Amino acid sequence: MKKLLLFNLFLSFVTFSAQKSETKGVLGDYNGDGKKEYAYSKVSDCSDDCSGKCITTIYFSDKNLKPLTIKNAKNGDLYNLKDLNDDGKDELGFYPNWCTSCWQSFYVYTFKKDGFKYLVDPIVTHCIQWNDDDKLPIEKGKKGYVKITTSISKNNDIKTVSKLVKIK
């Protein structure tokens, strides 16, 4: 009995350690099959100062979903954006980390029959924009549109501008 208890304790420790080393991810029904998939990202060939190729790959727990590859990204944050285009599938957002600039694009992906595609063109953001109550730069708009909030540089100041954009 004591050996069994120690063995279970060991397995619990190994399982916890493996979960802790995994990158953050998000659950969502990205392919519309009614089942939740786990999306998570891993970076490769990237040092602390962003030397190297710095390629981030987004993987899915459903191995039928092909991974997404983002260049010039030192990992980043994933977001389940819910169903922005009323197609029954959750959209996936990705905000990359980088070493040299506060200007980064926010990527929004939707699943089509031939794989993941951009829902809209990448949304240019400045890190100052992300300090505003953690508000994401995209939200559902009127049918066929989304409201995006992008950053612009104007008169040596960073401003945000919102507009409706037609979904691709």
Structural domain of 49 = 22-166
- pLDDT of amino acid 100: 85
* Residue 11 within any structural domain of the chain: no
Taking the CA atoms of 24, 58, 161 and 126 in sequence, report the sign of the dihedral they define. Answer: positive
* Residue 16 within any structural domain of the chain: no
- pLDDT of amino acid 135: 86
pLDDT band at 52 (very low <50, low <70, confident <90, very high): very high
Q: What number is the average pLDDT over the span 92-104?
A: 92
pLDDT band at 20 (very low <50, low <70, confident <90, very high): very low
Q: Which of 132, 66, 56 is nearest to 95 (CA)?
A: 56
* Residue 1 within any structural domain of the chain: no
Mean pLDDT of the chain: 86
Taking the CA atoms of 14, 17, 23 and 29 in sequence, report the sign of the dihedral they define. Answer: positive
| Among 46-60, 86-100, 126-140, the least confident range | 126-140
Number of domains present in the structure of the chain: 1
Predicted confidence (pLDDT) at residue 9 exceeds the cutoff of 60: no
* Residue 118 within any structural domain of the chain: yes
* Residue 82 within any structural domain of the chain: yes
Taking the CA atoms of 45, 72, 113 and 137 in sequence, report the sign of the dihedral they define. Answer: positive
In angstroms, the Cα distances linking 113 to 8, 30, 64, 119, 159 are 43, 12, 12, 14, 37
CATH of the domain at 59: 2.40.128
Residue type, 46: C
| Among 21-30, 143-152, 157-166, the least confident range | 21-30
